[in-house]
Every structure is written in C-alpha cells, then in structure tokens.
Amino acid sequence: MRIMTWTVRLLIFLFLLAFAAKNVAPVVLNFYFDLSWQAPLVVVLFAFFAAGALFGMIAMLSTLLRQRRELLRLRRESRGHARAEQAARAAEPVRPPAVDA
C-alpha cells in the first residue's frame, strides 16, 4: 500500500512539474490606478490557488472552533454522568440474598 501511495504522489508531482514547465509565459495583471504585476503564469496560478486555500481554511475555522467547544462540553457532561452513576452505586446498600424457607 505504501508503494502505491508514493507512486501516486510521484505521478502528481511530475504532472504538476510538467504543467509548470509549460506555463512560464509572462502574464500581466492590471489593477486599478495603473498598478500592474508581471509574473510567469505558473506563479500567478499558484498564488491564486494558495490564496483560495487560505480563504477556505479561514472560512472553515469558525465551524471547527465551535465543534471543538461542543465536543469539550459533551465530554465534560459525560464525565459528570459517569461520576454520578458511580456515586449512586456506591451509596446503594448491599442486600443479602433472599433465602426461601
């Protein structure tokens, strides 16, 4: 299984390397106020991909933190219930077995 995983990783890397080698033409991005940025196409694509991944992670962050807080609360409640059950069992008197006469 490890060999298969590394083979897939190598194929993806080689594909991306070939993609980068074929897209080195300069691209000019024009902004407002006569600002412009000139860079190879592969750099521009990578920058926008990284920015999109970063924005996605930031958007997901609030949900992740809310779920972690809820999980912590539920674990605390579960521990409290387990302690209450132990205390109830310990406080329960032990009854002797019934003897039929």
pLDDT score at 101: 62
- pLDDT tens track for 3-60: 999 999 999 989 988 888 888 888 898 888 888 889 888 888 888 989 999 999 999 9
**Higher-confidence position of 19 and 67:** 67
Supply angle C-alpha 34, 39, 45, rounded to 5: 110
The pLDDT confidence band at residue 67, using thresholds 50, 70 and 90, is very high
Domain boundaries, the chain: 62-91
Sequence-distant (≥ 6) Cβ neighbours of residue 37 within 8 angstroms: 28, 29, 31
CA end-to-end span of the chain, whole Å?
69
